Amino acid sequence: RILELDLRKALANEEFELFYQPLVNLKSGKIATCEALLRWNHPVRGTVAPVDIIPVAEDMGLIVDLGRWILRRACMECMKWPDGVSVAVNFSPQQFHQRDVLSEIRYAFEVSGLPAHRLEIEITESSLLRNTQLTHDILSQLHALGVRISLDDFGTGYSSLSYLHNFPMQKVKIDRSFLEGIDTDRPLTLLRGVARLSADLGMSVVVEGIETNEQLELISADGTVAEGQGYLFSRPVPSVRIRQLLNASY
């Protein structure tokens, strides 16, 4: 595939870029975290989205190198933000289960100077499916280091509720599909239930995909949801723009 060859060159040619999307604290209205989202400025194809990059990079075994670049870049970028703001980095299962994942992360802190408590690692349920004991150990060690683990896209895929209490994770991001239609015809019951359950298990709850003020009001009503993310607040934006948003927020 042409894309594969291009992808190998892209890392060397610095064609990748990170965009950032805010997660907003619903009580204070301030940006609490910014999620790093990969973009590829392809010389011919233009902007390539992560759905077209990550699976190919995984097949090629390039995801570890690419993931290392993403993590370091995101940590360095976060150092330019106000102290209270964290950065969230998506880890694919292969990256999460690489042999030296902890050294990888410690090294990113070393080269960037970022304190561990300002990093959130977003994993999906697919990272929890294999080797339960080992996965548990990695999560515990990351937690001990001060890193927060965030379970992304919760409610899609296998969505075992038991994951929420079997694994040490601090945050859950409820998938945006739960939000579809709640300001028109769908009852809030399911979203509220999942949010309440997650909060009762001691996790900080994020709702993704907030696009309207009606949705924001509905999910803010009972105080269970700590943070929101979605186009209503901001689309993913380049690093220069996220700094402007942060300066306006702080």
- Does 236 contact ligand G by CB under 6 A? yes
4 versus 200: smaller Cβ distance to ligand G: 4
Instruction: Map the footprint of Na ion across residues 145-164, applying CB under 5 A.
Output: 152
* Total site size for ligand G, rule CB under 6 A: 23
6 versus 195: smaller Cβ distance to Na ion: 195
Instruction: Map the footprint of ligand G across residues 134-153, applying CB under 6 A.
Output: 152-153
The option from Na ion, ligand G, Mn ion, none interacting with 211 (CB < 5 to 8 A, set by class) reads ligand G
Pattern 149-188, Mn ion, x by CB under 5 A: ---xx-----------------------------------
Pattern 79-98, ligand G, x by CB under 6 A: -----------xxx------
Which are the contacts of 73, defined by CB distance < 8 A and separation ≥ 6?
18, 36
Determine the Cα angle at 51 with ends 45 and 56, to 5°: 80
Look up residue 39 and give its amino acid: R
C-alpha to C-alpha distance for 210 and 157, rounded to whole angstroms: 20
Residue 234 C-beta: closest distance to ligand G, Å? 9
Residue 144, H or E segment: helix 132-145
- Does 90 contact Na ion by CB under 5 A? yes
Q: Integer distance in angstroms from the first to the last C-alpha of the chain?
A: 46
List the structure tokens of 33: 């975290």
Q: 16: helix, coil or strand?
A: strand
Exposed, middle or buried, 75 (CB in 10 Å: 0-12/13-18/19+)?
A: buried
User: Do 73 and 22 touch, CB atoms closer than 8 A?
Assistant: no
User: Do 227 and 32 touch, CB atoms closer than 8 A?
Assistant: yes
Q: Which stretch in 13-21, 82-90, 102-110, 237-245 sits in contact with Na ion by CB under 5 A?
A: 82-90
Determine the Cα angle at 96 with ends 93 and 102, to 5°: 175
Residue 154 C-beta: closest distance to ligand G, Å? 10
Look up residue 108 and give its amino acid: A
- Does 120 contact Mn ion by CB under 5 A? no
The option from Na ion, ligand G, Mn ion, none interacting with 79 (CB < 5 to 8 A, set by class) reads none
C-alpha to C-alpha distance for 132 and 137, rounded to whole angstroms: 9
Residue 5 C-beta: closest distance to ligand G, Å? 21
Instruction: Map the footprint of Mn ion across residues 208-247, applying CB under 5 A.
Output: none
In the complex, the residues that contact ligand G under the rule CB under 6 A are 21, 36-38, 49-51, 54, 70, 90-92, 152-153, 176, 208-211, 229-231, 236
